[in-house]
Amino acid sequence: MRAFIIRPFGTQKEIDFNRVDELLISPALTRLGADGRTTLDIFEAGNIRVDMFRRLLTADIVVADLSIHNANVFYELGIRHALRDRGTVMLRCEAENFPFDLQTDRYFVYKKEDPAAALEELVQTLKRTVDSTHKDSPVFMSLPELVEPDPSTFMAVPLDFSEEIERALADNRSGDLALISNEVRGFEWEIKGWRTVGRAQFNVKAYVAAKETWEAIRKLEPSDLEANLLLGTIYERLGDLTRSTQALDRALKNSTIKGDQRAEAYALLARNAKTRWRADWEKESVDARTEKALLSPYLKDSYENYERAFSEDLNHFYSGLNALAMLSIMIELAAKLPDNWNGLFDSDDEAARALATKKEHAKALAAAVDVSLAATLGRLKHNGKRDVWAEISVADLRYITSTKPARVAAAYREALAGAPEFACDSLRKQLSIYRDLGVVTTCLAEVEKIAGAPTAASQPVSPERKRVLLFAGHMIDAPGREKPRFPADKESIARAKIKEAIVKEMQTGAGVACGYAGAASGGDLLFQEVCAELGIPTRLYLAIPPQKYVTTSVAKAGPDWVTRFWNSYNAQTALGQVRVLSDATDVTDEDEYLPVWLRSKPEYTIWQRNNLWMLFNALNEGSDPKSSDPNVTLIALWDGATGDGAGGTADLVDKVEKRGARSEVIKTKEIFGL
What does the DSSP assignment read for 213-257? HHHHHHHHSTT-HHHHHHHHHHHHHTT-HHHHHHHHHHHHT-TT-
Residues 528 and 538 sit within 8 Å (Cβ to Cβ): yes
pLDDT of residue 230: 98
CA–CA separation, 164 and 594 (whole Å): 12
CA–CA separation, 148 and 146 (whole Å): 7
User: What is the per-residue burial (b if ≥16 Cβ within 10 Å, else e) of 250-262?
Assistant: bbbebeebeeebb
For the chain, what percent of residues have pLDDT higher than 70?
94
Residues 187 and 156 sit within 8 Å (Cβ to Cβ): no
CA–CA separation, 213 and 288 (whole Å): 43
Burial class (CB in 10 A: 0-12, 13-18, 19+), 45: exposed
CA angle 462, 463, 467 (to 5 degrees): 120
User: What is the per-residue burial (b if ≥16 Cβ within 10 Å, else e) of 519-536?
Assistant: bbbbbbbbbbbbbbeeeb
pLDDT of residue 148: 85
Q: Enumerate residue ranges in the chain where pLDDT < 50.
A: 42-46, 458
547-592 pLDDT, tens digit per residue, is 999 999 999 999 999 999 999 999 999 999 999 999 988 888 888 9
Task: Pinpoint the alpha helices (H) of 282-316.
Answer: 286-295, 297-312
Q: Which amino acid is located at 486 in the chain?
A: F
602-639 pLDDT, tens digit per residue, is 889 999 999 999 999 999 999 888 788 899 999 999 99
Closest CA to 265 of 277, 279, 249, 254: 249
Q: What is the pTM of this model?
A: 0.83
pLDDT of residue 42: 47
CA-to-CA dists, residue 488 to 352, 481, 499, angstroms: 89, 11, 18
What is the per-residue DSSP string for 6-25? E---SEETTEEHHHHIIIII
Listed in order, strand segments (DSSP E) in 396-535 are 467-473, 512-517
CA–CA separation, 117 and 111 (whole Å): 8
Residues 144 and 161 sit within 8 Å (Cβ to Cβ): no
Q: How does strand 88-92 pair with strand 662-667?
A: unpaired
Backbone phi and psi for residue 130, each to the nearest 5 degrees, phi listed first: -65, -40
Q: Which amino acid is located at 46 in the chain?
A: G
pLDDT of residue 647: 62
Would you call 352 helix, strand, or coil by DSSP? helix
- In sign, the C-alpha dihedral spanning 570, 572, 574, 577 is negative
Number of H helices, E strands in the chain: 29, 12
CA-to-CA dists, residue 573 to 446, 519, 552, angstroms: 51, 13, 20
Residues 248 and 228 sit within 8 Å (Cβ to Cβ): yes
> N- to C-terminal Cα distance for the chain?
44
Would you call 450 helix, strand, or coil by DSSP? helix
Residues 405 and 334 sit within 8 Å (Cβ to Cβ): no
